[in-house]
Structure 1
Amino acid sequence: MTVNNVDREAIRHGKITEQPLRERPAYPTWAMKLVMAITGLIFAIYVLIHMVGNLKIFMPDHNGVPAIDEYGRWLREAGAPLLPEEGLLWIARIVLLVAVILHIHGAITLASRSKQSRGKFSRSNLMGGLDTTATRSMLITGVILLAFIIFHVLDLTMGVQPAAPSEFVHGEIQNNMIATFSRWPVTIFYIIAMLALFLHLFHGIKLAASDLGITGRKWMGVFAFLAAVVPAVVMIGNIVMPLSIAVGLVG
C-alpha cells in the first residue's frame, strides 16, 4: 500500500490507501539513472582524452608545425581512407551530442521526480565536506558546464564571433588558443568551468558505481579512487593550459 498524503504526520496516524502517489512513469527511474551513469562516464573519458590532447600545446614544433596542430590534423584524417575526412570526428561529435541530450533529460527528469517524492520535506541528512558540496551543486555545475560547452564550441571549434577572437583561422589550433586565452575574461570563465567540472565529475563518478549496480568493496574502491584522481587531473591540466597562455608563458 502507498501513502495518500505526503505529510508525514498523516503517515503516523495511519492515513494510507492503495492509490499510488503518482502514475507509473514511462521510463523507470533505474533506467534513467543507468543512462545518466553511462553518458556521464562517456564524458569523463572524453574530457580526459581532450585534456591530454590540449597539453600538446606545450610540446615543441615538428618541422615548423605546432604539435597541437598536427594532432588536430590527425583527428580530422583519422579513419581514412575507410571514412571521409572528419568522418570519425563527426561520429564522435554525434555520440557526444546524443549523450549530452540524454544526460540533460535524465537530470531534469530525476530532479523533478525527487522533488515530487519529497514534497515539502527537504533533504537534511548530508554531513558536509566535499561530498556534500558536490552533491548539492550538481544542477548548478551542470548548467555552468552546458553554458561552457556552447561557448567553447562557438569559440574554438566554429570560430563564431564574438565568442571567438577576430584572429580565428580554421585549422590553426595553437594560434586560435593563444588568441582566445589572451582574453582574461575567457580564461577566468574557463577556470570557473573547470572547477565546476571537478565537482560534477567527482560526484558523478562515485554515483555511477551504484547506478551501474556495482556493490563489491573492491570495485567500489576503484570507483572512489577514480572519482578523486580523474577530476583532479582533468581540472589541473585544463587550468594550467589557459593560464600559461594568459600570463605569456606560451605564445
Structure 2
Amino acid sequence: MATTSAPPRPATARRTTIALKILMAGTGLVFVGYVLLHMYGNLKALAGEEAFNTYAEHLRTFGEPMLPYGGLLWAVRIVLLLSLVGHAYAAFSLWARAGNARRSKYAAGRTALRTAWMRWGGVFLLLFVAWHLLHFTILKISPNAGANGPDVENNPYRLVVASFQVPWMTLLYVLAMLALALHLAHGVFSAQQTLGWTGTQKAYRRARLIGNATALVVAGGFLLPPLAILFGLIK
C-alpha cells in the first residue's frame, strides 16, 4: 500500500518563512496607518488649545450612541495590541532563522548590522510606547505640570505643552522619532518587497522612495509640535 511522504523540510521552512514575512508586513502596515493618523492628530496642537482638545474629545465620543464613550479608542488599542504581538513574533522568528542560515562573510556582516539596527530600534520604540502611554494616557505625568496651571492632567493641550517645555523629554521624543524613521524606511520598503511590489528595477526604486518618504513625513510631522513648544512658538 502506497504511503504519502511528508513534504521536504526545506519546502516547509520556506513556506513558514513566507508566512512570517507576510504577517510582519501586514501588521507593519497597520502601524503605518495608525502613526499617520496619530501624527495628523498631534499636528492639531499647531492650531491651538481649542482645536487640539476638541479633537482629543472627539476621539472619545466618535460613534456615539452606537459606540460607548471611548469605544473607538478601545477598538483601536485592541487591534494595535494584536498587531504588536504578531509583528514581534514574526520579527524575532525571522531573525532567529536568519541567524542560523549560512551566508558569505560580507552578506552576513551587512545583514547582521541591519538586523541589529531594526531589532534594537524596535526594542527602543517598544519601551518608548510604554512610556508614552504612561505619560499621556495612564498616569498623565509631567515634571513641568505645575507651571501650566491647575488640573493640567485633564487638559490634553496643556499637558502636551507642559511636557515638551522640558528639554530632556523633548530629546527623548526626538530620539524615538529618529528610531521610528529608520524603522519605517526599512519596514515600508520590506513590506512592499514581501507583497511582490518590487519585481522590476523601477518598482524597486519606487518602493525605496515610498519607504523613505513615509519615514520623513511621519517623523517630521511628529516632531513639529514638540520642537515648536520647546522653542516657545507654542505656549
Instruction: Tell me the TM-score normalized by structure 2.
Output: 0.83
In structure 2, give the amino acid aligned to 1:247: F
Judge conservation of contact 1:134–1:200 (CA < 8 Å) in 2: no
Structure 1: any 5+ residue segments left out of the alignment? 1-18
Distance in 1 of aligned mates of 2:89 and 2:105: 22
Distance in 2 of aligned mates of 1:151 and 1:223: 32
Judge conservation of contact 2:25–2:194 (CA < 8 Å) in 1: yes
Query: Does residue 1:37 correspond to 2:25, yes or no?
Result: yes
Q: Determine which structure has the larger helix proportion and give its number.
A: 2
Distance in 2 of aligned mates of 1:50 and 1:237: 10
Q: Which residue of 1 aligns with 2:184?
A: 201
In structure 2, give the amino acid aligned to 1:104: A
Instruction: Note the alpha carbon deviations across 1:110-146, whole angstroms, 9 max, x for none.
Output: 111111223xx67523898xx9976651112111111
Deviating above 4 A after TM superposition, structure 1's stretches of 4 or more consecutive aligned residues are 131-136, 168-171, 218-222
SS at match of 1:125: helix
Q: Which residue of 2 aligns with 1:125?
A: 107
Q: Which residue of 2 aligns with 1:182?
A: 165
In structure 1, give the amino acid aligned to 2:42: N
Aligned length: 222
In structure 1, give the amino acid aligned to 2:207: F
In structure 2, give the amino acid aligned to 1:223: A
Structure 2: any 5+ residue segments left out of the alignment? 1-7, 146-150
Q: % of aligned pairs identical? A: 37
Q: Which residue of 2 aligns with 1:137?
A: 117
Judge conservation of contact 2:144–2:163 (CA < 8 Å) in 1: no
Distance in 2 of aligned mates of 1:181 and 1:195: 17
Question: Alpha-carbon deviation of 1:185?
Answer: 1.3
Match of 2:99 among 99, 112, 115: 115
Question: Alpha-carbon deviation of 1:77?
Answer: 0.8
Question: Alpha-carbon deviation of 1:240?
Answer: 2.1
Question: Alpha-carbon deviation of 1:214?
Answer: 2.4
Distance in 2 of aligned mates of 1:236 and 1:140: 22
User: Using CA pairs below 8 Å that are at least 6 residues apart, which structure has the higher relative contact order?
Assistant: 2
Judge conservation of contact 1:159–1:165 (CA < 8 Å) in 2: no
> Relative to 1, partners in 2 of residues 1:122 and 1:76: Cα closer, same or farther, differing over 3 Å?
farther
Instruction: Tell me the TM-score normalized by structure 1.
Output: 0.78
Judge conservation of contact 1:37–1:211 (CA < 8 Å) in 2: yes
In structure 1, give the amino acid aligned to 2:134: L
Question: Alpha-carbon deviation of 1:221?
Answer: 4.7
Judge conservation of contact 2:144–2:166 (CA < 8 Å) in 1: no
Root mean square deviation, CA, Å: 2.9
Match of 1:236 among 192, 200, 220: 220
In structure 1, give the amino acid aligned to 2:162: A
